[in-house]
A and B are shown apart, each in its own frame.
Chain A
Amino acid sequence: MSVLSLDASQGSQRLRELVGLVPSGDRSFYLRISGLENLVFFGRLHGLRRREAIARAEEMLERVGLADVADQRVAFYSHGMQKRLSVARAFLTDPPVLLVDEATHDLDPAGAREVRGLVSEAALRGAAVVWATQRIDEISGFGQRVTVLAGGRVTFSGTVTELVARADSTRYLLRLRNGGLEGEALVPVLERAIGSLGSVQTAADEFVLALGDRTALGEALVRLAEEGVQILSCHPERSALEEAFVAVAGGR
């Protein structure tokens, strides 16, 4: 395998100059020293002179919104702040390749969005970003090409749209109403309407409609409407991306 025409298996110094890493772990800094000193240290390991490293570290801290806490020990940084510091470190030399390893897996949605935003900026500046994630939904509107690995093998490679097309949804969550009937009492009505097209179960205040192979959702919905059931909402039990992932990765 080669990266920028360099043999990746050799892990050469030249290759490491060209790749910025955002590691998955939440601890990848020296906790007893400040965020600024951490970035300066890593900047110098990337070959920057001390003065350049300080200037660059300050610029990066500003970019990721940590300028105010630059002189604080990293031990006092929150999870999200450490992750942003990690992104700042990866940007230190504006590398042409960014390897982001599950950077959002332990962040709240707001923190995750922030990190995605920062990495998107790098991509817009021209960096190739390899974003490894288990949160499949976050690639929607963010990633361009997707490679799915399962059991150490590539099981899919293509665009996000092509991946979504692999979704094979057969289970839907419905919110229904039929006069005064609700919950378990409504199930016999629904089963009669659906007949051999599939099955219906209750799930909290919704119903799970499981369709048989090759059954169109529209056909089932028409049957329900004909039975006098009002359909308030209908959506796949899992997101299209998750369905697609399960389909191509061979999971359940």
Chain B
Amino acid sequence: MSVFAVSTRPRHGFIREASKVGAFLRRDFLVAWSYRLAFASDLLTLAAMTFTFYFVGRGFDQSTLPLIGGSRPTYMEYVAIGIGVSAFLTFGLGRVALAVRGEQLMGTLESMLMTPTALPTIQLGSVTFDLFYIPIRTALFLLVTAVAFGLDFRVSGILPAAAVLMVFVPFVWGLGILLAALTLTFKRGANAIGFSALALGILSGAYFPLALMPHWLATIAEENPIARAMSAIRSALLSDAGWSAIGPDLALLAPLSVLSLAVGLFAFRLALRRERRLGTLGIY
């Protein structure tokens, strides 16, 4: 019998690592598919939220909504985008931490870290399924609400809105990795994630205009990158301005995304090194 018959393929490091992401995608799809009820209940929750906001919207003073591209949207148009983008935020913030926690609970973290896989590959792989699932879910949600409630989203704004999301996702992901580092260190990160998602959500103008907040808080919230992303996506989808409406916001979000990712990855590496040194990687 041959000794050491199997040799791992001699491919360039980057290509080799990139090809592993597909394995994560398949794993997470199979795991998610095994929980079909969770799939369905996620969509039902989204539907229930939409109906709630529909009734909130009927009592909402529409004149408090900001002008977008010179015209005022309906509350449903305003909040539907808020709900969709907030879903990105919640998933993005919690996903890496949940993945780490899940691997700890299942006992698979140690086995996975013993494979010759780079840490960024593991982090990217852990969220790849969501990177596919959430945009599809958001698009589906916006399509259904647009049809059901007669919302006037501009088709020409879809690509610019998608571009904002592409730049916005790494920013949230960086924060998510930072929270995952805290989860790794302090073991229970759910509260921190929940609070962060709530605070960033409230200060993003997802559900109501920032102008309704006290002046000082509104001033802070306007600088919240998530509020900027939200505003840019609304401008793209609810006005005819298209690409020209999102330029300044993209210019602000892009470097912040790089910074957020860098800080998150650095913190995660530190947390992992600490856990390995203490031998508490698998403890949750």
Which A residues are within 8 Å of any B CB, using their own CB? 11, 13-14, 16-17, 19, 21, 23, 25-33, 37, 40-42, 44-50, 52, 56, 73, 89, 92-96, 125-126
Contact = CB atoms under 8 A, between A and B. Distances in A.
Contact of B9 (A21, A41, A49, A95): A49
B31 A23 contact: no
A190 to B, nearest CB: 50
B276 A11 contact: yes
A56 B1 CA distance: 15
22 contacts: A13-B118, A16-B115, A17-B8, A27-B106, A29-B106, A29-B108, A29-B111, A31-B106, A32-B31, A33-B34, A44-B20, A44-B23, A45-B20, A46-B8, A47-B9, A47-B116, A48-B6, A49-B9, A93-B7, A94-B4, A125-B3, A126-B4
Contacts, number: 101
Closest 7 CB pairs of A and B: A47-B8, A44-B23, A27-B107, A45-B115, A32-B34, A17-B116, A16-B116
B58 interface: no
A32 B1 contact: no
Nearest to B23: A44
Nearest to B3: A126
A88 to B, nearest CB: 12
B16 interface: yes
A28 B8 contact: no
Contacts of B8: 17, 46-48, 93
A31 B112 CA distance: 15
A interface secondary structure, majority: loop
Contacts of B3: 94, 125-126
Contacts of A28: 106-108, 110-111
B5 A41 contact: no
A32 B276 contact: no
A94 B8 CA distance: 10
Nearest to A21: B114
Given A16-B116, A126-B4, A42 B111 contact: yes
A21 B116 CA distance: 12
B93 to A, nearest CB: 24
Interface in B59-76: none
Contacts of B20: 44-45, 47
Contacts of B30: 32-33, 37
Interface string B89-118: 000000000000000001110111011111
Contacts of B31: 30, 32-33
A125 B27 CA distance: 32
B266 to A, nearest CB: 18
Nearest to A19: B114
Contacts of B216: none
Contacts of B135: none
A19 B115 CA distance: 9
Contact of B282 (A25, A32, A33, A92): A25
A32 B38 CA distance: 14
Interface string B24-35: 001100110011
A32 B27 CA distance: 10
Nearest to A73: B34
A4 to B, nearest CB: 12
Contacts of A21: 110-111, 114
B114 A16 contact: yes
B107 A32 contact: no
